[in-house]
């Protein structure tokens, strides 16, 4: 039995949390997923703002999979669906979980996106009833998307004068002037009306086509809000627990009120993690044994790197070297549930890595093999820092 703390809570150590991560995130040998959809379930949702992350995160967790398997799940079988949900981030989630994300997290994003669009329209000099203006633009966009079947943002902006209206973002040399069409697609995706479909180009492309959700995939009747937030919290605690309320609040982008309401509907047990009160599902209290030794090279923004607000039990002292200034994880090297270094793809294609602590000769050799395998997998594909900045380790390796 684990030792009890002075407060009477069961203490779940960093070592046990790392053991849970290796097993549940499908990273340790013998615990990998059978399919890329199972890989997504293992971490609740695959990060999707950078399409390369979606693919590489899935492959790192799936036996004998290739990029084509991820593309098939996304675009042919449509067992994975891209949603704009937690923290205003794009995720690829199992088809049967998309409704939970829309009802439990996307509503927050949609409300904020609508507010921002109205503000930008006012700043662009649009006068009159702005709510009515947006409603007319939405109808024009949805009609054009329905007629086209699939459409790009650029094509949509040409479908109606309202959609071609230019907005202004940023100041100075960082000014951007997107069309209303591009902003509306973000809003409509948060509302669940449209989804990102197959991109133009290869599996790292960010130039997505868009389709009406109902024509792309039948998501069924969405759950009610209370059911959705409870299920989202349950799935997250199953994959990432034990964890603190702060961790769940950060990962979801919820308010404290919503976070507490979601957890209150669950059967949980309070435990101690890293000297803080945390939670674990009541049927998940028993100790977890460490899996066999494992190593992994995970891409930037991987779910295991970005799963908690408080990451010291996996990250240690390496945050400054491996995360950008906005808190986004770069490509990381993992050994037995610890982040021990970083990697980068050089311009000629080689995947190189840097270790920030001693991991021993055997683990180092395993990392070297993973780097060689990843170099071969990427081939002519070149990775870029999308939706984030280059980390210090990446800059050093690419230099």
Contact 215, 149 (CB under 8 A): yes
Q: Is 306 part of any domain? A: no
For every one of its 399 residues, what pLDDT tens digit does the chain have, with 9 covering 90 and above?
344 444 578 899 999 999 999 999 999 999 999 999 999 999 999 999 999 999 999 999 999 999 999 999 999 999 999 999 999 999 999 999 999 999 999 999 999 999 999 999 999 999 999 999 999 999 999 999 999 999 999 999 999 999 999 998 877 777 888 999 999 999 999 999 999 999 999 999 999 999 999 999 999 898 999 999 999 999 999 999 999 999 999 999 999 999 999 999 999 999 999 989 999 999 999 999 999 999 999 999 999 999 999 999 999 999 999 999 999 999 999 999 999 999 999 999 999 999 999 999 999 999 999 999 999 999 999 999 998 999 999 999 999
Last residue of a domain, one of 295, 324, 346: 295
Q: Is 304 part of any domain? A: no
Say whether both 232 and 379 belong to one domain: no
Say whether both 246 and 380 belong to one domain: no
Q: Tell me which residue of 260, 281, 262 sits closest to 270, measured CA to CA.
A: 281
What's the structural domain count of the chain? 2
Strand boundaries in 21-108, DSSP class E: 46-47, 80-84, 90-94
**Residue corresponding to tokens 């808190």:** 327
Tell whether pTM > 0.75.
yes
| Angle, alpha carbons 11-287-42 (nearest 5°) | 105
Partners of 323 in the β-ladder? 329
| Angstrom distance (rounded) from CA 307 to CA 43 | 9
Question: Any idea what DSSP says for residue 169?
Answer: B
**Residue corresponding to tokens 């059978």:** 34
Say whether both 180 and 274 belong to one domain: yes
Say whether both 59 and 131 belong to one domain: yes
Say whether both 136 and 211 belong to one domain: yes
Residue range 151-163, pLDDT digits in tens = 999 999 999 999 9
| Angstrom distance (rounded) from CA 217 to CA 227 | 22
Please report, to the nearest 10 degrees, the dihedral formed by the alpha carbons of residues 352, 357, 362, 368 taken in order. 0
Contact 145, 158 (CB under 8 A): no
Residue range 49-99, pLDDT digits in tens = 999 999 999 999 999 999 999 999 999 999 999 999 999 999 999 999 999
Say whether both 212 and 360 belong to one domain: no
Say whether both 17 and 140 belong to one domain: yes
| Angstrom distance (rounded) from CA 4 to CA 25 | 27
Say whether both 219 and 347 belong to one domain: no
Question: Any idea what DSSP says for residue 282?
Answer: G
| Angstrom distance (rounded) from CA 295 to CA 340 | 10
Say whether both 189 and 241 belong to one domain: yes
């Amino acid at each position: 039995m684990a030792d009890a703390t002075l407060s009477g809570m069961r203490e779940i150590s960093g070592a046990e949390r790392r053991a849970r991560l290796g097993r549940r995130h499908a990273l340790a040998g013998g615990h990998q997923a059978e399919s890329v959809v199972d890989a997504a379930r293992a971490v609740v949702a695959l990060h999707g703002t950078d399409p390369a992350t979606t693919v590489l995160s899935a492959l790192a967790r799936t036996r004998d999979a290739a990029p084509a398997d991820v593309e098939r799940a996304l675009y042919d079988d449509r067992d994975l669906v891209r949603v704009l949900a937690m923290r205003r981030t794009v995720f690829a989630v199992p088809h049967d979980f998309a409704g939970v994300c829309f009802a439990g997290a996307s509503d927050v994003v949609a409300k904020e996106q609508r507010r921002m669009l109205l503000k930008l329209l006012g700043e662009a000099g649009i006068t009159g009833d702005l709510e009515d203006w947006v409603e007319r633009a939405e109808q024009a966009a949805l009609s054009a998307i329905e007629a086209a079947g699939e459409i790009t943002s650029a094509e949509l902006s040409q479908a109606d004068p309202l959609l071609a209206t230019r907005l202004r973002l940023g100041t100075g040399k960082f000014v951007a002037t997107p069309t209303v069409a591009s902003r509306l697609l973000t809003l409509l995706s948060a509302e669940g009306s449209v989804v990102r479909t197959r991109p133009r180009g290869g599996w790292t492309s960010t130039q997505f086509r868009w389709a009406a959700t109902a024509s792309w995939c039948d998501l069924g009747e969405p759950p009610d809000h209370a059911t959705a937030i409870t299920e989202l919290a349950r799935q997250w605690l199953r994959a990432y627990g034990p964890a603190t309320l702060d961790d769940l609040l950060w990962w979801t982008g919820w308010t404290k009120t919503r976070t507490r309401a979601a957890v209150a509907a669950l059967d949980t047990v309070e435990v101690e993690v890293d000297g803080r009160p945390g939670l674990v599902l009541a049927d998940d209290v028993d100790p977890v044994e460490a899996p066999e030794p494992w190593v992994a090279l995970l891409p930037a923004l991987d779910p295991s790197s970005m799963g908690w607000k408080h990451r010291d039990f996996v990250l240690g002292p390496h945050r400054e070297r491996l995360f950008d200034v906005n808190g986004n994880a770069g490509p990381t090297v993992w050994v037995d549930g610890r982040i021990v270094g970083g990697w980068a793809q050089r311009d000629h294609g080689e995947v190189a890595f840097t270790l920030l602590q001693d991991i021993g000769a055997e683990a180092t050799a395993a990392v070297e093999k993973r780097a060689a395998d990843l170099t071969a997998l990427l081939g002519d594909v070149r990775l870029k820092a999308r939706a984030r900045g280059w980390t210090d380790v990446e800059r050093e390796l690419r230099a």
